[in-house]
Amino acid sequence: MGARFRLITANLFNGRADPVAFAALTRAVDADAVAVQELSPEEAEAIGGVLPFGKLEPARDSSGMGIALRDPGNVWRLPLSARSAFVAELTPRDAAIGSSIELINIHIIAPHLWPVARALHHRREQLEGLERYLDGSARRPRVIVGDYNSTPLWGVYRRLAARLSDAAVTVARRNGRRPGRTWGPWPGAPRLLRIDHALVSDLTVHDCRVLPIRGSDHSALLVELSL
């Protein structure tokens, strides 16, 4: 069995998620990486205290994003329409020399933002830019995580899920249950939609769980993978 790798993806609600509580969650699950969306400076500081490597670019306008790592790793921006993705080249602890995983963190523009025509244009451009990147790079172990702002019925998810496997679906089928929903209309509200995803290729999925985030309208996904 290959070396295991544990990651969290989470939308932090433009700074309204509790920084201390989220850092404590990261530490409690022993995450190797955290991919975050809607990241504030306070949340970036708290996460950096647990995972000191990677690249975090906080903001106050819902555009803050980044990937924090336990160990040193190469992280860079992937330019996309309106909101870039972040990409990390990771080597799990105890992995064979030359073994690596590509982690991509995305935040797709929500379809209801005004003006709607512009939002839909950016969604389409983001998706097509990501697809061009995937088509132009060699097949490899890869996981694309983040706030897709897309349920499994919507086009963004369906086009990406045609290329990669949904970690939540893999685990749910194994355990005889449905994947957990990740978004509700306010912090603490029942989760109504599954719009945060982890899609994987050439990786073994050991676990995928929904975890609460204090102060956010999203729940986190904890994903455990191996090469």
- The pLDDT tens digits for 43-69 are 999 999 999 999 999 999 999 999 999
What is the distance between the alpha carbons of residues 94 and 29, in angstroms, rounded to a whole number? 19
Assign residue 207 the CATH number of its domain: 3.60.10.10
The whole-number pLDDT of residue 51 equals 98
Measuring CA to CA, which residue among 46, 42, 201 is closest to residue 34? 46
The whole-number pLDDT of residue 211 equals 98
The whole-number pLDDT of residue 96 equals 53
> Would you give the DSSP letter of residue 190?
P
Where do the H-state alpha helices sit in 102-154?
A: 116-136
Task: Pick the range with the lowest mean pLDDT from 89-98, 133-142, 193-202.
Answer: 89-98
Average pLDDT, stretch 184-194?
Answer: 97
- List, for residues 132-169, the tens digit of each pLDDT value: 999 999 889 999 999 999 999 999 999 999 999 999 99
Where do the H-state alpha helices sit in 137-184?
A: 155-161, 167-175
Domain of residue 86: give its range: 4-226
- Higher-scoring residue by pLDDT: 2, 115: 115
**Which positions ≥6 away from 161 have C-beta within 8 Å?**
152, 199
pLDDT averaged over the chain?
A: 95
What is the distance between the alpha carbons of residues 54 and 87, in angstroms, rounded to a whole number? 10
The whole-number pLDDT of residue 95 equals 58
* Total-model pTM: 0.96
Number of domains comprising the chain: 1
Average pLDDT, stretch 6-15?
Answer: 97
Query: What are 223's strand-pairing partners?
Result: 7, 208
Checking if the pLDDT of 179 tops 90, the result is: yes
The whole-number pLDDT of residue 4 equals 86
What is the distance between the alpha carbons of residues 212 and 216, in angstroms, rounded to a whole number? 8
Angle, alpha carbons 138-144-54 (nearest 5°): 95
